[in-house]
Amino acid sequence: MSKKYNILWIDDEYNDEALLPFILQAEQQGIILEGYGSFKEGFNALEANINYYDVILLDALFFENETSETPNPAGLGSAIKKINELIPKKAFPYFVLSGQTHFTDVTNPILEAFQLRCYNKKNPEDVKELLKNIKEEADTQIELQIKHENQLFFEVLNQYPDSGRDTFISIFKGLKGIDNGFDDELYFTQLRIILESFFRKANEIGLLHDKCVQINGSQVNLTESCLFLSGCDTKHLNVNCSVTHFPKLIADNVKNIIYTTGAASHTTNVDITQNIDVQAYRRTINTPYLLYSLALQLMDVLIWFDEYGKVNSDMAINQSYWEEFEKDQYGNKFEIATITNISATNWGTVILKDGKRISIFHGDITQNNLVLGDSIKFTVNNSAKAQNITKQ
């Protein structure tokens, strides 16, 4: 997979057809230019998604904001000032590209003040050198190194809220020893938010039942969602799936993430003080490695789903596997199965979907006039005997 570089490009003519060859030339080298016509529009986009962009490319003349009528060099000065203000959050390499001769052919006070070179967009050699320098400067940035080292995952993460990218970049910085400070509650909450988005995506293509993502009108029930995708009965929603979507290791990872990151299964808000096991763990092991391990498990879950969802994207087929079931007043599930055997002593047998054999008392066989091949509805007691039997 070739490296990609996301460039914030501010140029009042960024969508001019004359610049299409430049855009295509950049894309051939993995440089993706996202253009904005004004300083305000461009930097609003940058601050809203700061870890998406790797480099900033500035025209020498562009609009201050979307209502400006004439491009002017004040926009360049404002942009450079803002880039410097953003350094505590992220230090961006930035370059100036222009076709204006009073920037490319003569000394310009703004460029001179910041010791900047202005590349000439009309000079093919200048453009070639610019693209080379963009990649070289970008490759020195730790955030981009992280994205390139884990490119498959960050490509998948593009489908999730932008905050997910920020979360994982922070976690990878910790893994690299750049920032070992961590806050369980903050990052555990972020992992659960990403997991919630994952379950919503599963619901969008019918892999996950609607009931699992409509708790109280909007919340996702994380535990019930995990059970459903694991091919198990939900505990409270009375739905299941006849197909097991989660491979066992993926199911185990999801269960571990849900349990460890919070005691409440139906919310993304985390209160670590309510998780007794985590509190006991922290008293003896106060490291970030628990957080890192959960994050790495979640990476595998998202990568698995990206491929699985593409192969299993037919909503009608997926929803055809949804099943609902009833429970009695004590919370015991009603099963439906066919009688496969009646012994000489008039005891019957049914076999559940999981292969478990259930006995039918001979008195129930007689009372309900049951015969071989009949379908019955029943609950099961602890001794694996059918109760509350009705003939279907």
User: In this structure, what CATH number is given to the domain that contains residue 19?
Assistant: 3.40.50.2300
The model's confidence at residue 264, banded by pLDDT at 50, 70 and 90, is: very low
Residue 175 lies in a domain: yes
Q: Does the structure show a pLDDT above 90 at 4? A: yes
Residue 329 lies in a domain: no
* Residue 92: other Cβ atoms inside 10 A: 21
Q: Does the structure show a pLDDT above 60 at 167? A: yes
Q: Residue 3 gets which letter from DSSP?
A: -
Are 236 and 267 in the same domain? Answer: yes
Residue 172 lies in a domain: yes
Residue 363 lies in a domain: yes
Q: Does the structure show a pLDDT above 90 at 148? A: yes
Q: What's the rounded Cα separation, in Å, for the pair 115 and 121?
A: 19
Are 33 and 123 in the same domain? Answer: yes
Are 117 and 266 in the same domain? Answer: no
Residue 117 lies in a domain: yes
Are 187 and 84 in the same domain? Answer: no
Residue 355 pLDDT: 83
Contact 123, 83 (CB under 8 A): no
Contact 59, 10 (CB under 8 A): yes
Q: How many domains does one find in the chain? A: 3
Last residue of a domain, one of 322, 351, 371: 322
Q: Residues 96-108: pLDDT tens digits? A: 988 776 666 666 7
Contact 348, 267 (CB under 8 A): no
The model's confidence at residue 185, banded by pLDDT at 50, 70 and 90, is: low
Considering only CA atoms, which of 98, 136, 138 is closest in space to residue 117?
98
What single letter denotes the amino acid at residue 177? G
Whole-model pTM? Answer: 0.84
Task: Tell me the residue range of the domain where 132 lies.
Answer: 5-146
Q: Does the structure show a pLDDT above 50 at 41? A: yes
Last residue of a domain, one of 111, 146, 181: 146
**Coil, strand or helix at 197:** helix
The model's confidence at residue 114, banded by pLDDT at 50, 70 and 90, is: confident
Residue 177 lies in a domain: yes
Are 294 and 170 in the same domain? Answer: yes
Are 162 and 176 in the same domain? Answer: yes
Q: Residue 287 gets which letter from DSSP?
A: S
Are 229 and 266 in the same domain? Answer: yes
Last residue of a domain, one of 296, 322, 348: 322
Are 242 and 156 in the same domain? Answer: yes
**What values do phi and psi take at 198, rounded to 5?**
-60, -45
Average pLDDT across the chain, whole number: 87
